[in-house]
């Protein structure tokens, strides 16, 4: 009887060696000499640099020496970047005695070497395994002990390469910012088109990256780094770093405080640039057609003018005679829209606090939008005088502590002069000390005609736990909790302001 079991494939063995080595490095601190030696042989044999196996070498350094690898790393871990066929289909191809034409093959004789029964490029799979292993190892093997500014910068850059491998721009999954976090510029990024939805492919990857970065920041002697201008210059601002700076700002002085403020300012400007792009097309106020259009050239509706005067066209003269000019309405209702943003500044809401403070400042710069900003924990602070400057606003926050929304409501309610012309955006996880009294006052706002928008999280990842007691009651009230990417909140506010 002829054995038709396919022979073990050398490429499969190589790929397994690389992934076993990755698992050993991640979960066993002791180096496995046999796996290291076998992996080195594989990497050298397929023409990749040996430095790919050294976890101390950054991806930036490898790409600088081998620029062609940048294109391979982009989209490496996306479905489009991984080209191997489905394993079951490939298995069927190996064992199916018929080819695509339906002809039977004899198994007693040698196979025709020109016939490729397996459409998978196994050599490419091995190469991809080596590159994937490098990216995952550099990002997820963070070690222990103190962290330097250089180590944090290197990790941020490597995390950016992981985001690129997943089809995103560097920074997208950790904080919604675009642009390379440091090191190699976005050479060969190949990141055109919309950011893919990774919630199905790799759930929670964004929050986990943020947690890793936060742990590295906590392990850094941040005050010492900030006191040294050269070391501080190596820091790349991120949400985790900004959170730590805001928590520790009252303990800083002199050069350290100046460097901390510079980092916060850089981060605020970067996030503001992204959010401003989303907001800049906002049309504030509905067109007021009771006001005649201003008869100036810039308002001339040329298409409508031509259409309305087509009956006056003279074919003999090839000339259109215009009896009447038509103009566009540009006047808008001048009643200002009032936007009241209430932000929970307790420790669990730092990401939302930063994003919404910046967002409030952007909307405050729009014409006929009256923006008020209130931050609270167990006490409330009216930050409206500084709403145009998110940097100064954040410096006045006091992160941490408990949560008592009733004190914020006491500041917000007097600001509502015209309920139907007011929107209240309340950002919190709603784990409150006085749940029922706060909800009752929120329900009263909703019934008065005020547009009330409860927001659970406004981060790039959408991570955040919302008190289920509040979530159910908001749903019954007809104002479900808005959670997810900050673009959702931008869309809601634009809809209100344009109505």
**Would you say residue 241 lies in a domain?**
no
Residues 369 and 389 reside in one and the same domain: yes
Query: Residue 178 in contact with residue 169, Cβ under 8 Å?
Result: yes
Token pair, residue 144, equals 């222990």
Three-class DSSP category at 365: coil
Q: Given this model, what pLDDT does residue 462 score?
A: 46
Residue 16's CB is within 10 A of a number of other CB atoms, namely 13
Residues 309 and 429 reside in one and the same domain: no
Distance CA 60, CA 66 (A): 10
**Would you say residue 474 lies in a domain?**
yes
Token pair, residue 468, equals 């289920």
Distance CA 86, CA 105 (A): 23
Domain boundary among 309, 332, 355: 332
Three-class DSSP category at 139: helix
**Would you say residue 471 lies in a domain?**
yes
Residues 324 and 371 reside in one and the same domain: no
**Would you say residue 252 lies in a domain?**
no
**Would you say residue 481 lies in a domain?**
yes
DSSP annotation string for 438-453: HHHHHHHHHHTT-EEE
Domain at 374, CATH number: 3.40.50.410
**Torsion 437-439-444-445 (CA) sign:** positive
Residue 234 has what DSSP assignment?
Answer: T
**Would you say residue 392 lies in a domain?**
yes
Residues 324 and 441 reside in one and the same domain: no
**Would you say residue 318 lies in a domain?**
yes
Residues 399 and 481 reside in one and the same domain: yes
Distance CA 25, CA 21 (A): 6
Q: Given this model, what pLDDT does residue 179 score?
A: 40
**Torsion 238-239-244-247 (CA) sign:** positive
Question: In this structure, what are the phi and psi dihedrals at residue 371, rounded to the nearest 5 degrees?
Answer: -105, 135
Distance CA 124, CA 80 (A): 14
Residue 433's CB is within 10 A of a number of other CB atoms, namely 12
Question: In this structure, what are the phi and psi dihedrals at residue 110, rounded to the nearest 5 degrees?
Answer: -65, 145
Domain boundary among 286, 310, 332: 332
Residues 308 and 430 reside in one and the same domain: no
pLDDT per residue rounded down to tens, the chain (499 residues)? 455 555 557 888 888 888 888 888 888 756 677 888 888 888 888 889 888 888 888 898 899 888 889 888 988 888 765 543 333 333 333 334 334 334 444 444 444 444 445 567 788 888 888 899 999 988 988 888 888 888 888 888 898 899 888 888 777 776 544 343 333 333 334 444 444 454 444 446 777 887 788 888 888 888 888 998 888 888 888 878 887 888 788 888 899 999 999 998 888 888 777 667 766 654 445 555 666 777 777 778 888 888 888 888 888 888 888 888 888 866 554 445 888 989 888 766 677 777 778 878 877 777 777 889 998 888 888 999 998 888 888 888 876 667 889 999 999 999 998 998 898 989 888 888 889 999 999 999 999 999 998 988 665 444 557 889 999 999 999 998 887 667 777 777 777 666 5
Look up tokens 């199905």; give the residue: 200
Question: In this structure, what are the phi and psi dihedrals at residue 154, rounded to the nearest 5 degrees?
Answer: -65, -40
Distance CA 253, CA 255 (A): 6
Query: Residue 485 in contact with residue 176, Cβ under 8 Å?
Result: yes
335-352 burial: b if 16+ Cβ within 10 Å, else e: eebbbbbbbbbbebbbbb
91's enclosing H/E stretch is helix 87-95
Residues 322 and 466 reside in one and the same domain: no
Look up tokens 């970047």; give the residue: 81
- Count of domains in the chain? 2
Residues 318 and 421 reside in one and the same domain: no
Q: Given this model, what pLDDT does residue 352 score?
A: 74
Query: Residue 426 in contact with residue 453, Cβ under 8 Å?
Result: yes
Query: Residue 469 in contact with residue 405, Cβ under 8 Å?
Result: no
**Torsion 233-237-240-243 (CA) sign:** positive
Residue 5 has what DSSP assignment?
Answer: P
In which domain, by residue range, is 443 found?
337-497
Look up tokens 């955006």; give the residue: 425
Alpha helix positions (H), 228-367: 229-232, 239-248, 254-279, 302-308, 350-364
Facing residues of 453 across strands? Answer: 425
Query: Residue 488 in contact with residue 464, Cβ under 8 Å?
Result: no
Distance CA 308, CA 322 (A): 9
Residue 365's CB is within 10 A of a number of other CB atoms, namely 13
End-to-end alpha carbon distance in the chain: 79
Residues 390 and 316 reside in one and the same domain: no
Residues 328 and 431 reside in one and the same domain: no
Residue 417 has what DSSP assignment?
Answer: S
Q: Given this model, what pLDDT does residue 105 score?
A: 41
C-alpha of 183 from chain center: 20
152's enclosing H/E stretch is helix 149-165
Residues 320 and 405 reside in one and the same domain: no
**Would you say residue 306 lies in a domain?**
yes
Residues 491 and 359 reside in one and the same domain: yes
Query: Residue 481 in contact with residue 444, Cβ under 8 Å?
Result: no
């Amino acid at each position: 009887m002829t054995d038709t079991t396919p022979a073990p494939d050398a490429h499969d063995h190589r790929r397994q060696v690389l992934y076993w080595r990755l698992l050993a490095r991640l979960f066993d601190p002791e180096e496995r000499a046999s796996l290291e030696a076998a992996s080195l042989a594989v990497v050298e044999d397929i023409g990749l640099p040996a430095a790919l196996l050294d976890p101390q070498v950054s991806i930036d350094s490898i790409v600088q020496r081998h620029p062609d690898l940048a294109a391979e790393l982009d989209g490496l871990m996306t479905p489009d970047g991984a080209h191997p066929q489905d394993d079951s289909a490939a298995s069927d191809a190996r064992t199916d005695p018929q080819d695509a034409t339906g002809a039977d093959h004899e198994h007693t004789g040698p196979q025709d070497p020109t016939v490729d029964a397996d459409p998978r490029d196994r050599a490419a799979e091995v190469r991809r395994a080596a590159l994937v292993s490098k990216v995952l190892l550099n990002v997820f093997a963070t070690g222990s002990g103190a962290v330097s500014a250089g180590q944090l910068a290197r990790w941020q850059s490597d995390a950016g390469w992981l985001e690129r491998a997943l089809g995103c721009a560097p920074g997208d999954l950790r904080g919604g910012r675009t642009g390379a976090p440091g090191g190699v510029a976005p050479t060969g990024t190949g990141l055109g088109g919309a950011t893919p939805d990774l919630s199905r492919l790799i759930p929670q990857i964004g929050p986990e990256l943020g947690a890793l970065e936060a742990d590295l920041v906590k392990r850094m002697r941040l005050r010492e780094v900030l006191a040294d201008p050269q070391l501080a210059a190596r820091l790349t601002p991120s949400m985790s770093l900004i959170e730590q700076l805001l928590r520790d700002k009252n303990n800083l002085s002199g050069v350290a405080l100046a460097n901390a403020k510079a980092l916060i300012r850089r981060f605020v400007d970067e996030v503001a640039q992204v959010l401003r792009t989303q907001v800049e097309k906002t049309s504030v106020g509905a067109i007021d057609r009771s006001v005649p259009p201003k008869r100036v050239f810039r308002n001339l509706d040329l298409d409508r003018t031509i259409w309305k005067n087509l009956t006056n066209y003279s074919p003999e003269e090839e000339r259109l005679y215009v009896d009447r000019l038509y103009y566009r309405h540009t006047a808008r209702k001048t009643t200002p829209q009032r936007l009241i943003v209430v932000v929970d500044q307790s420790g669990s809401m730092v990401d939302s606090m930063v994003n919404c403070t910046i967002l409030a400042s952007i909307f405050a710069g729009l014409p006929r939008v009256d923006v008020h900003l209130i931050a609270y924990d167990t006490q409330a602070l009216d930050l409206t005088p500084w709403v145009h400057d998110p940097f100064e606003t954040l410096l006045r926050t006091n992160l941490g502590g408990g949560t008592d929304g009733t004190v914020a409501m006491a500041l917000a309610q007097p600001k509502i002069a015209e309920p139907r012309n007011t929107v209240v955006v309340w950002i919190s996880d709603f784990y409150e000390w006085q749940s029922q009294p706060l909800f009752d006052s929120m329900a009263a706002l909703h019934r008065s005609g005020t547009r009330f928008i409860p927001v659970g999280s406004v981060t790039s990842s959408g991570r955040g736990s919302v008190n289920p007691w509040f979530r159910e009651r908001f749903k019954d009230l007809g104002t479900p909790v808005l959670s997810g990417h900050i673009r959702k909140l931008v869309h809601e506010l634009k809809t209100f302001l344009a109505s």
